[in-house]
Amino acid sequence: MAGSDCSCAECASDECLVEIRGLVKRYGSRKAIDGVDLTVQQGEVLGLLGPNGAGKSTTMAVLSTLTSFDAGTISLCGLRLPRDAARVKRLLGIVPQELALYPSLSGTQNLSFFGRIYGLRGRALSERIARVLEIVGLSNRARDPVRSYSGGMQRRLNMAASLLHRPRIVLLDEPMVGVDPQSRNLLLEHIERMRAECHTMIYTTHNMDEAARLCDRVAIMDGGRILAVDTTAELLKLLGSGVIHLACSGQESMAAPLAELESVRSLDTSDGVLRIRVSDTQAALLEITRLCHERSATIHSLEALEPNLESVFLHLTGKSLRD
Amino acid sequence: MWLQIKALAIKELQIFIRDPAAVLLVFLLPLGFVVLMSYALAEPFAEQRSRQIHLPVVDLDGGPLASKLLAELDQMEAIAVERRFQGQDLNRKSLEHLIAEGDRSIGLVLPAGLSRALRSRAGDPIAVELVSDPALGDQVVEPLLGTIRGLCERLSFQAFTPDRVDSLFERFGGSMPAIALDGIRNKVRTDVLTSLQTPSPVRLMRVAPASMQHVVRPDAFQQNVPGYTLFGIFWIVVLLAESVLREKRDGTFRRLLAAPLSRGVLLAGKLLPYYLVNLIQIALMLAAGRLIFGLDLGSSPGGLVLVGLAASASATGLGVLVAALVRTEAQARNLTILLLLTLAALGGCFVPRFIMPQAMQSAGLATPHAWALDAFQDILVRGQGVVEILPELGALMAFAAVFFLLGVWRFRFD
């Protein structure tokens, strides 16, 4: 299932490392996670795409064993949560949203500390520190205090700290938050390299470009639920060749004639807007404006959405990813 | 588990020694206070030598020599004799009450028969009592004792010699031949010289009011070295609280909780270095007291170690409690500083508790500082050992346990 080009035995195993069924997490009466089902294969990168409050970070917190859950089952590498939490922790690498580092310590001291917490000692620890510093390109700054690093360098070290103990699954929770564009590209390259090295990853983001670039499959989340999960290409097919959003006078009476237009495949109404999936965007725009003119309907807004993950999300939820 | 605690502790110490403000706060601030306050308060600790002594007196004799003694004392610039206090005649009981309440530090009781004893210089010496606060320094009491003793001797001779001469002349009559007068002169000389070799007719005694226990009080360094050491070790509370809040804010606690690490190990690794820093603080401050100020550390090093361990435990325990209760770094710094200053002041770290009003002295017992300071001073000042300080050690460990248990109960890692 892995989307990397790697052909190692592990990637070829198609082992399901993460299996989540009917996951529910409540805070009081509010459901932060509402019946989530997900699977992640060995070597696969799964993206959790959604706006703030969609339930991505809560899902990550549950998988990290930091938060309990109210219903459902979670299996990680064949181990069950919460029963096997202590063993699961050794298999996970967590890249938190925050820069969870000690700024007054050097990069090496930070990594040495986190490595020891995971039981690494002596030469094994030194070798792993050198290796992860090399992976994230910080070998030449390893002895400097972390507070002297740029934001991007701190993010890279934040990631390095999660890789020291060779985790089987890496959880990356919005790792690009607050990163400048140049550092962001560097970080994306590092994650792509990890992907090529068969790391199994779950990656939360509200950035569709990151999701499209890094993830083998993307799960679109909103309101604690998974709305769709598939490869980016399959998700884009949900839109046909495009989607047109129309708001006009006499909207209710326009739905039937619009549905009969040749380039229109289907339509529905959401939040006072007609969402029209079309087979040919250019032709559909002409047909729609002509129909409105003929019926003397005043067009308040007419928007053609390009088929990308942002518009898929907008199509599925009626909301922008940045909402 | 131990390796993880060790890793956490080393990390915490590395962060600590990279924070110059924290090192300054913990080590140099209390030492600076010791030097400054010890010299600043040297005079008050020397019992205000230059001030006039108010001397309440009870004259149970009522004779002319006792009155003369008091009149001569009252004429001295340094002494103000008080026969009445706030309009009331003094008696033995009210005089002791004045001293026990701290209204006066010393008083004089002249016994019945004093005048007769001074005049006759016969029989056992009569006791003149100087009733004083046990805390009053010898530098005040001894000169006063000497003055009274000298006056008694002078008054005794002034009265005794003419009396003796008169009695001799009465005995041998007025019509004596010259040779007989020489005999009388020789006899008077012999009698007076002999009486000069007799013991003083008065015996001056320093006594404490019945309600006051006799205790040895510390000098400035015996007060300030342990006092400011304790003041210093409790600053660990601020550092610990800030460190915990920083870990929460930066997400390092969450990262560690996602690691194969129990919360107990995480907390133990967090606290251990602060506990060690406290022990180092105490060792350094006592060493500085010994080497710089010549402080006598007593004869119970084991007792000092136990007080250090118990006091550090209560400081670290309070650190856990405060870290569990504060929500922001501003709270950790400002409110905690206020708390620490209050506890230290109440516990007698700045000003000895024995010069505070009784109510404040009692309130001080609600602080670990007071118990720790008492324990230190039992060893440093009174030469006591482990057995004698067991009550203080018990109180300190109780403080530590209550602080720690409450802190752990309220502690949140995220």
Domain range for residue A216? Answer: 9-235
pLDDT tier, A46 (very low <50, low <70, confident <90, very high otherwise): very high
Residue B323 pLDDT > 50, yes or no?
yes
Asked whether A236 and A310 are in contact (CB, 8 A), the reply is no
Looking at chain A, which residue has its C-alpha nearest residue B4?
A117
- A181 and A256 in one domain? no
What are the two backbone dihedrals, phi and then psi, of residue A221, each rounded to the nearest 5 degrees?
Answer: -115, 145
pLDDT tens for B41-91 read 655 565 444 567 889 999 999 998 899 999 998 888 888 899 888 888 899
- A52 and A175 in one domain? yes
Q: Residue B282 CA to chain centroid, in angstroms?
A: 20
Contact call for A116 and B4, based on CB within 8 A: yes
- A255 and A215 in one domain? no
Domain total in chain A: 2
How far is A80 from chain B, CA to nearest CA, in Å?
Answer: 16
Q: What is the DSSP letter of B402?
A: H
pLDDT tier, A40 (very low <50, low <70, confident <90, very high otherwise): very high
Choose the closest CB to B7 out of A89, A97, A116. Answer: A116
Residue A224, SS3 per DSSP: coil
pLDDT tens for B232-242 read 999 999 999 98
What's A135's domain CATH number? 3.40.50.300
pLDDT tier, B105 (very low <50, low <70, confident <90, very high otherwise): confident
How far is A65 from chain B, CA to nearest CA, in Å?
Answer: 6
Looking at residue A2, its pLDDT comes to 47
Residues of A in contact with B4 (CB under 8 A): 116-117
Looking at residue B213, its pLDDT comes to 52
Contact call for B255 and A119, based on CB within 8 A: no
- Over residues A87-94, mean pLDDT: 92
- A251 and A177 in one domain? no
Interface with chain B: mutation pick from A60, A68, A91, A102, highest number of B CBs within 10 Å: A102
Contact call for B251 and A109, based on CB within 8 A: no
Determine, yes or no, domain membership for A30: yes
Residue A73 pLDDT > 90, yes or no?
yes
Both tokens of A98, joined, read: 């925050």
Q: Which residue segments constitute the domains of chain B, with CATH numbers given?
A: 2-40+217-410 (no CATH), 53-207 (3.40.1710)
Looking at residue B48, its pLDDT comes to 45
Q: What is the pTM of this model?
A: 0.68
How far is B13 from chain A, CA to nearest CA, in Å?
Answer: 11
Contact call for A89 and B260, based on CB within 8 A: yes
Q: What is the DSSP letter of A12?
A: H
- A292 and A179 in one domain? no
Residue A117 pLDDT > 70, yes or no?
yes
- Over residues A263-292, mean pLDDT: 85
User: Among the three residues A214, A235, A256, which one is the final residue of a domain in this structure?
Assistant: A235
Q: Long-range contacts of range B83-89, CB-CB < 8 Å, 24 or more positions apart?
A: B83/B56, B83/B57, B83/B59, B85/B56
Contact call for B414 and A66, based on CB within 8 A: yes
- A13 and A131 in one domain? yes
- A43 and A154 in one domain? yes
Residue A285 pLDDT > 70, yes or no?
yes
- A150 and A43 in one domain? yes
Contact call for A113 and B257, based on CB within 8 A: no
- Over residues B329-334, mean pLDDT: 77
Determine, yes or no, domain membership for A313: no
Determine, yes or no, domain membership for A93: yes
What's A249's domain CATH number? 3.30.70.1340
